Amino acid sequence: MWFEGTPEAAHSSLGYVFYNAAHGVSGMSGLSCVRLGKECDYSDSMPTDNIISPHEERLPYASQSPRTAETLLPRIGFRDHVQGSKSPFPPEFFLDQDHLSPLMTNALAPSSQSSVRRIASEYLESDGLAVCERYFTSFHTWLPVISKKRIMHELREPDTERDSCHELLLLCMKLCTTTPGNQPAESDLYILTRSLCSSVESAGFVCLQLIQCLVLLTAFELSHAIYPAAYLTIGRAARLGLLTGLCRQQSQPLFNPAETWTLREEQRRTWWAVFVLERFIHIEPSCLPFATPEPGVDELLPLNDDDWDNGGIVPSEALYTKAFSSITNVGLFARLCQAAHMLSMVIQHKRAKKHTRDVSGTLEEAKGLHYALSALQSSIEETSPDFEAVSGLRPAAQGAFAVCVCARYLLYSLYACNENQDTIAAEPSVLGTEMQGLSLAGIKAIASSAAPKILRATPECPLLTHCLYLTATECAWFLQEDHELEMRNAFRQVVQGLECIGKQWAIGREFAPKLDILCPVLG
């Protein structure tokens, strides 16, 4: 977008965005006022039918607070702007890297005087500690990327130097722990949070907490089936992660290496979260290119989650190992990362299968993926200490289990029917028949057991929805063939699971109606 005049005039469009979010104004007519330096007056021209009354409570959770939407959504003047960072972005990064001097870690973060901090603080209502308590006991259990030690220290020590993305991150944490109404994409909190993230990013700021904000925003969008926003948001997070050097493969980093062990671990977990969410989003549109590269051969996994939350310093496990085992000290978030890596390999296998002439080599690779995924699923189940008990999978293990099962379904769908192998040089073979047998047996075993394993505990991780839906499709397929009671019961359990998830995450409500189409005989 082109702005005439000074940089301040361009930055002042931030106020226009937030004014619209608060008052339902659309269009770009206000920019001419900014350009000409005039006061904006919509008293005669702006339609008033859709303006929310100052006394009308728009938020679904407004009953929890006496404050109204008018007070929660602040009035932002047209001349407000995002305060600049301590250092300007070095153009040498893109123009001449031979003359690039790496910056300090937080050099390009928004200053503490930024209007973003004020806006986010008004919406938080000085509720930072309560937001953290809710977040770390719920959402954090399956996506533990934020340093609990760091953020609690910043909250309890008000004199600690921090950038304005601290409040924005708290706002994203509040968003992820809030149950919106029937239209999550239209909730005030989501609109404001997304607008703030976009404004900080557009202003040229680059910092770890901004990437974490985009990770949480993506997770919220994915959990409520807000597409294509989730796909676009995680792409932005990936680009910023590459820019900041979170990916260890980058040769010329923008920033100096992390000064502390805790910060490096938080960077690693954030980058893994970007990788996990992006690969999960690509399960269905698997033809789209990835924004994040594959992990390098020296990539490390996140350390054990309990040690991470307690601030302990312990060794990290390597991603590439000869076998998956429950004996190691690998945590459940690391298992989720392993599962996402295996999912990525299956997606790439699917892409390569369409163009290969080496059918035997492709089938051998498929067998290797089958055995690796089976071993990974077993290690996830064994790593979760409550798995065999009545309580079932803990929320921390649900994400890893769901991604692993989705990867297995995606692999088996390529080979369950050998009449159409979808390759350039398709030909019947003994290896093809063997892989078909493994696929059919794998689908049946997972379909009949996945739902009971998941639903021993309350499903809390939104990644389970896709896993349950794929399970339902396979159960429906088997029911059309042989009407087995085991598959009928599994299908009913899937319906119950999606209804349970749908109470918190809208994506469950998106999948549930499709089940009647899959298997109408069950009602």
Query: 240-259 pLDDT, tens per residue?
Result: 999 888 887 666 678 778 88
Residues facing 318 on adjacent strands: 300
The residues, ordered by sequence, that sit 6+ positions from 458 with a Cβ below 8 Å of its Cβ are 500
What is the rounded CA–CA span in Å between residue 517 and residue 523?
A: 10
Same domain for 257 and 370, yes or no, is no
Of residues 462, 452, 444, the one with CA closest to residue 504: 462
Both 371 and 513 in one domain: the answer is: yes
Q: Which pLDDT score, from 0 to 100, does residue 24 have?
A: 45
Q: How do residues 139-198 score in pLDDT, each as one tens digit?
A: 999 999 999 988 988 888 866 666 668 889 999 999 999 988 889 999 999 999 999 999
The answer to whether residue 410 sits within a structural domain is yes
In a domain, 11, yes or no: no
- For residue 105, the tally of other CB atoms under 10 A from its CB is 19
> What's the pLDDT score for residue 262?
87
Q: Which two tokens stand for residue 118?
A: 């004020």
Contact 233, 221 (CB under 8 A): yes
342 shares its domain with 436: yes
- Kindly state whether residues 275 and 342 are assigned to the same domain: no
Query: What pLDDT sits at residue 212?
Result: 97
| Helices within 177-320 (DSSP H only) | 188-202, 208-223, 229-244, 261-281, 305-310
Both 455 and 361 in one domain: the answer is yes
Q: With bands split at pLDDT 50, 70 and 90, how would you rate the model's confidence at 426?
A: low
Instruction: Give the domain extent around 402.
Output: 330-384+391-420+427-518
Q: 96 in helix, strand or coil?
A: coil
The answer as to whether 349 is a domain residue is yes
pTM above 0.85, yes or no: no
| 363 and 268 fall within a common domain | no
* Residue 438 within a domain: yes
What are the helix (H) ranges across 29-181? Answer: 30-36, 69-72, 92-95, 115-124, 128-136, 148-156, 165-176
Kind and range of the H or E run holding 436: helix 430-454
> Do 351 and 274 belong to one domain?
no
Q: What per-residue confidence (pLDDT) applies to 326?
A: 62
- Number of domains comprising the chain: 2
Residues 269 and 368 in one domain: no
Banded model confidence at residue 428, pLDDT cuts 50, 70, 90? low
Range of lowest pLDDT (260-269, 319-328, 391-400) = 319-328
* Residue 435 DSSP SS3: helix
Indicate whether 235 and 347 sit together in one domain: no
Q: Express as a percent the part of the chain with pLDDT over 90.
A: 37
Phi and psi torsions of 231, nearest 5°: -65, -40
Distance CA(448)–CA(459), nearest Å, equals 17
Q: Are residue 223 and residue 103 in the same domain, yes or no? A: yes
Token match 């994915």: residue?
222
pLDDT digits (tens, 9 = 90+) for 56-75: 444 343 334 434 444 444 44
More confident residue, 368 or 460: 368
Kindly report whether the peptide bond that precedes residue 293 is cis, defined as omega within 30 degrees of 0: no
pLDDT higher at 195 or 417: 195
- 457, 381 in Cβ contact below 8 A? no
Task: Among 19-23, 86-90, 166-170, 382-386, name the one with the lowest average pLDDT.
Answer: 19-23
Q: 3-class SS at 255?
A: strand
The pLDDT of 438-463, averaged and rounded, is 86
pLDDT average, residue stretch 342-351? 96
What is the pLDDT at residue 200? 87
Cβ neighbours around 375 below 10 Å, total: 14
The closest of 111, 108, 85 to 254, measured between CA atoms, is: 108
d(CA 523, CA 515): 9
Distance CA 135, CA 10 (A): 35
Stretch 198-220: mean pLDDT: 91
In whole angstroms, what is the distance from residue 166 CA to residue 399 CA?
A: 27
The mean predicted confidence, pLDDT, of the chain is 79
Structural domain includes residue 465: yes
User: Which ranges constitute the DSSP H helices of 83-145?
Assistant: 92-95, 115-124, 128-136
Question: Which of 473, 478, 461, 516 minimizes the C-alpha distance to 222?
Answer: 461
pLDDT of residue 510: 84
Query: Is a pLDDT exceeding 50 seen at residue 311?
Result: yes
Stronger pLDDT, 260 or 24, i.e. the higher one: 260
Pair 251, 349 in one domain:
no
Task: With respect to residue 72, please indicate whether it lies within any of the assigned structural domains.
Answer: no
Say whether both 182 and 272 belong to one domain: yes
Mean pLDDT along residues 490-500 = 86
Is 97 a residue whose pLDDT tops 60? yes
Report yes or no on 317 lying in a domain. Answer: no
Report yes or no on 289 lying in a domain: no
Q: What percent of the chain has pLDDT over 70?
A: 73
Alpha carbon distance 148, 289 (integer Å): 34
Beta bridge partners of residue 300, listed in sequence order: 318
